[in-house]
Amino acid sequence: MDAAESTVSAGVREMCSRVNATAQSFERAAATLERTAQLRISREALRQIVESDGRLALRLSEAGELAADWKAKDCQGPDGESLIYLSSDGFMVPLVTAAEKQKRRKQVLDQRRRCGKKRRALTRMKPGADQRYKEFKAVAFYDHEMEHRLISVTRGNCQAAGRLMRRDALRIGFGSADYRVGNIDGGPWILGQVKQRRMPMTATGLDFYHLSENVHKARRAIFGEEDPAGKEWTGASLHTVKHEGYKSLWERLLELRKNTRGPARRKAADGLLHYVSDRRDMIRYPEFLAHGWQIGSGPMESQCRVLPDRVKGPGKRWDADNAEAVMALEALHQSRQWPAYWRALLH
């Protein structure tokens, strides 16, 4: 990072990061810079600049030097009182395995031997991943209109995501809002971290879309794909849970299980019963709708598509730390902290 700062200006670094964010590869980003800004820079140099800035962004965020310029109490809800949402989720990122690294290193060494010229020794090879895909995690705080938002990303486990929750909550004064609402997809680790980190939640709800997915999955197993009776039952069940709550849905599911025949169909009915029962404290749609709160985690799902967009695609493989660094820059952009980051480099 020190070497990059001494030879490349902050303005050029910002151009590299901006162009890379929407490019399909570092090679295309370098070509775009040369064509549009007459800035000739190699693919490898551009990669090093972008990844080093991403790592710097992570360090500055960890140190609290990129704090949001808003507080939870500033986030207005539909009823005029302050309202802040918390959500978290995971997504898969393609990584370079140890076997792939060994294969690449062998190819490079073979090319060097055929060349016959003396070359500088290769740098030490970083250890590869043990799997081709690993789950990264994101944490999001946002208001009702998405005017204020704070997005963080980590390659760590659920404990690392929990630490981000706690860290960012303290920085925005999460507890100062009148209402603090969680919208999550029902993943046990997310709710576990909310409880473990003692987040001062007013209410935590199950994303309605994920509930409906599980209801439709059971419907297809029990009634079949196109059975009108199954579709009618599903529509009525989702309307019931949205406007009457958990108890009414539970009664409908028990009735369905009672009238279901066949081991495979009963297994599907039992699976839906267990799914709903395990999340009964989060099925609070009538309460949420009465307050005007969102009942879906759409903003979080959107972040799980946007954050890894640059690192996904045919043939792309990453070291975990480099992928995290690239996504950290996108998280800055999504949090509207991009200008603050580049201003910080000039002081």
CA 269, 219, 285, 252 dihedral sign is negative
pLDDT, one tens digit for every residue, the chain (347 residues): 455 455 788 889 999 999 999 999 999 999 999 999 999 999 999 999 999 999 999 999 999 888 899 999 999 999 899 999 999 999 999 999 988 888 888 888 888 788 877 777 778 888 888 899 999 999 999 999 999 999 999 999 999 999 999 999 999 999 999 999 999 988 899 999 999 999 999 999 999 999 999 999 999 999 999 899 999 999 999 999 999 999 999 999 999 999 999 999 999 999 999 999 999 999 999 999 999 999 999 999 999 999 999 999 988 999 999 999 999 999 999 999 998 898 887 76
For residue 344, the model assigns a pLDDT of: 80
> H/E element holding 89?
strand 83-94
Rounded Cα distance, 257 and 272, in Å: 10
For residue 118, the model assigns a pLDDT of: 77
Rounded Cα distance, 274 and 251, in Å: 13
Contacts of 31 (CB under 8 A, 6+ apart): none
Full 3-state SS string of 173-199: CHHHCCEEEEEECCCHHHHHHHHHCCC
Closest alpha carbon to 286 in 343, 228, 208, 172: 208
72-94+135-205+297-336, CATH topology level:
Nucleotidyltransferase; domain 5 (3.30.420)
182: left (phi over 0), alpha (psi -120 to 50) or beta: beta
For residue 4, the model assigns a pLDDT of: 47
What does the domain layout of the chain look like in residue ranges? 2-64+341-345, 72-94+135-205+297-336, 96-130, 209-282
Using an 8 Å Cβ cutoff, are 251 and 213 in contact?
no
